[in-house]
Structure 1
Amino acid sequence: MRNRLTELLGIRYPIVQAPMSWIARSRLASAVSNAGGLGIIETSSGRLDEVREEVRKMKSLTDRPWGMNIAQAFVRDPDIVSFVVDQGVRFVTTSAGDPGKYCDALKSRGLTVFHVVPSLAAAEKAVAAGVDGLVVEGAEGGGFKSSREVFTMVLLPLVASRVNVPIIAAGGIADGRSMAAAFALGAEGVQMGTRMVAASESPVHQNWKNAIVNARETDTVFLNRHGTGPALRALRTGKTTQYEVEPPGNIMSEFDHAHKLYFGGDMEASIAVTGQVMGRIDSVKPVAEILQDTMIEFETVITGLAQRNGLGPDPLCASG
């Protein structure tokens, strides 16, 4: 498949893996890149020494394109731009902060920069700052969110109607059908988070993967809407059900125990950031199978839509 995004990033499939703290490391990211998508290495954990080691592993695991994320609210290292550039990466997403803070510095070093946005105003600000593209993230997605949530069905076509840069859609994407919907709304690529948490190569404990597979679409909570710090969408557990009504004074302190949940399997130890799309995920699969199935279903769906409406096959789709 060829479009502006695949040409810009040098990838086979316009599918990007979300930069999830502690999860978006070399094992998962290399699997995505090797399967034809774009793997991302996170920095939001703030563990830059660990991230440096993951980058070293990444280079030994794939020769395909990959990228990194700078989550500005969580990584306050004043040398983060130099850190990212020194890793030899060519693509960066910036998030959780001012799109202009690092854009010029990154682009002047030859990197392609996309910024993650939760609203039209944020998208227009990012484009004005000079970013090469956007990750437009609907509020149904897992992780940290704007407290004034807007969902993909509204946000994506709104932003697409006002900007002329490539858009990666995030929030609610797990397969070819949802990818086709995102393209119909104006995207040229998609980002998958929760679907990748439940991939075979995901490093999280099997308890979290099982929780995703067994969940309903109603089994997330939107936390900290009115508290200090970011809002977030997470898996419904005993802890998060309580926090939905009585949020802690500092929601971020809950992630001090993230490793006990993420890798130890204690689902009440911390907060499992997870999107509503888990209600559509019914199995744990290898990344290569996820991407292949997604592209096959994507082509089937858009071709079927065209044929049902008497438009013939879609000229943009080419298997291979």
Structure 2
Amino acid sequence: MKNRITELLGVKYPIVQAPMGWIARSQLASAVSNAGGMGIIETSSGELDNVRDEIRKMRTLTDKPFGVNIAQAFVRDPDIVKFVVDQGVQFVTTSAGDPNKYCAELKAAGLTVFHVVPSLAAAMKAIEAGVDGLVVEGGEGGGFKNSREVALMVLLPLVCSKVKVPVIAAGGIVDGRTMAAAFCLGAEGVQMGTRMVSAAESPVHQNWKDAIVAARETDTVFLNRFGPGPALRALRTEKTGAYEKTAPENIMGEFRNVLDLYFGGDMEASIALSGQVAGRIDSVKPVAEILRETVAEFEAVMAEMAGRYAPQPA
């Protein structure tokens, strides 16, 4: 599969793994890169010493390309650009902040820069900042969100109609059929988050994976729409179900015990960030199998649509 995304990233498949805090580390990211996609190492945990170690581990686990995400709202190190450049990676995504903050410095160092955007206005601001591409993120995806969320079905074709840079679609992407839909709407790549959280190589506790597999399409909640702090989408639990109507005064304070959920399996200890697509995930699979099945189904769907609807010669 060849397009602008595979050429820019140097990958076999234009499938990117989302940079989820504490989760997007070498165990998962190397599996994605080795399977032909783009593994991403997170910085949103703020644990840059650990992140540095994870990048070292990546180089022992894969010889394929991988990237790093700079989650601007969560990284306080003023030398974060130097940190990323020093790791020798060629691809970086920036998110949760102003694309002007780091773009010029990163590009001056020779890195390819994509910025994550939740709206057309944010996309145009990123284009003006000089990014190489965009990750267009729909409100159905898990994690920290724009409080005025827009579904990918609306946002993706809107942004793609206004920009010329390559676009990676995020939010609701779980298989080849959703990948094909994203490509029909203008994307040249896709990003998977919740699907990767539930993957066999994901480091999270089995309880979280089981909760994703058991979830219905209605089993996520959109929290903290009116602030203060970020809005977010998470799995429905007793804790998050109560917060759906009345958010806590400090939503970020609910992440103080996040590791007890992520790795201890206590689903009420914190907030399990997950997208609506959890309702379509029915099993835990190895990353290589996920990517292989996704690409095969993508190709089959595109061929079927072309055969069914393309004009036939007279």
Report the TM-score range of the alignment, normalised by the length of the smaller protein.
over 0.9
Measure the CA separation in 2 of the matches of 1:198 and 1:219.
15
Separation in structure 1 between the aligned mates of residue 50 and residue 248 of structure 2, nearest angstrom: 29
State the Cα deviation string for residues 213-267 of structure 1 (Å, max 9, x = none).
0110000000000011110000000000011111111101111101000000000
Separation of aligned partners in 2, 1:94 and 1:184: 25
Letter in 1 for 2:48: L
Other-structure match for 1:202: 202
Separation in 2 of the partners of 1:283 and 1:201?
13
Aligned to 1:31: 31
Cα distance in 2 for partners of 1:288, 1:67 equals 18
Counterparts of residues 15-54 of structure 1 (less than 5 Å): 15-54=15-54
Aligned residues: 312
Which residue matches 1:265? 265
2: CA distance, partners of 1:292 / 1:25? 21
* Whole-angstrom distance in 1 between the partners of 2:156 and 2:130: 20
Task: Give the alignment of 1:100-111 within 5 angstroms.
Answer: 100-111=100-111
Question: Any gaps of 5 or more consecutive residues in structure 1?
Answer: 313-320
Aligned to 1:184: 184
**In the alignment, what sits opposite 1:12?**
12
| C-alpha distance in structure 1 between counterparts of 2:188 and 2:240, whole Å | 34
Unaligned 5+ segments in structure 2 are none
Pairs within 5 Å for 1:57-136:
57-136=57-136
| Structure 2 counterpart of 1:213 | 213
- 3-state DSSP class of the match of 1:113? strand
1:310 deviation in Å? 3.7
Q: Secondary structure at the match of 1:221?
A: strand
- Structure 1 residue aligned with 2:303: 303
* Structure 2 counterparts to residues 276-291 of structure 1, below 5 A: 276-291=276-291
> How far did residue 88 of structure 1 move?
0.8
Q: In 2 relative to 1, CA 16–311 (structure 1 residues): closer, same or farther, beyond 3 Å?
A: farther
The residue matched to 1:277 in structure 2 has which SS?
helix
Could you tell me how far apart the structure 1 residues matched to 2:117 and 2:246 are? 28
Tell me the distance in 2 between the aligned counterparts of 1:68 and 1:144: 18
- Matches of 1:227 and 1:166, distance apart in 2: 32
Aligned to 1:144: 144
Q: What amino acid is aligned across from residue 25 of structure 2 in structure 1?
A: R
Q: Which amino acid aligns with 1:55?
A: I
Please give the alpha-carbon distance, in whole angstroms, between the structure 2 residues aligned to 1:116 and 1:311: 36
Mapped to 2, the partners of 1:253 and 1:245 lie a distance apart of 18
Q: Distance in 2 between matches of 1:150 and 1:310?
A: 31
Deviation, structure 1 residue 87: 0.8
TM-score normalized with structure 1 length: 0.97
Residue 158 of structure 2 corresponds to 158
Percent of aligned pairs with the same residue?
77
Scaled by the length of structure 2, the TM-score of the pair is 0.99
Three-state SS of the structure 2 residue aligned to 1:169 is strand
AA at the equivalent of 1:278: A
Any idea what the Cα deviations from partners look like across 1:262-305, whole Å, max 9, x if unmatched?
00000000000000001111000000000000000000001001
Match of 1:172 in 2: 172
Q: Secondary structure at the match of 2:256?
A: helix
Q: Structure 1 residue 311: deviation in Å?
A: 4.6
Q: Which amino acid aligns with 1:266?
A: D
The list of structure 1 runs, each at least 4 consecutive aligned residues, that deviate by more than 3 angstroms after superposition, is: none
What one-letter code is carried by the residue in structure 2 that aligns with 1:98?
D
Alpha-carbon distance in structure 2 between the residues aligned to 1:237 and 1:292: 32
AA paired with 2:24?
A
- Aligned residue for 1:224? 224
CA distance in 2, matches of 1:81, 1:70: 8
Q: Distance in 1 between matches of 2:252 and 2:180?
A: 35
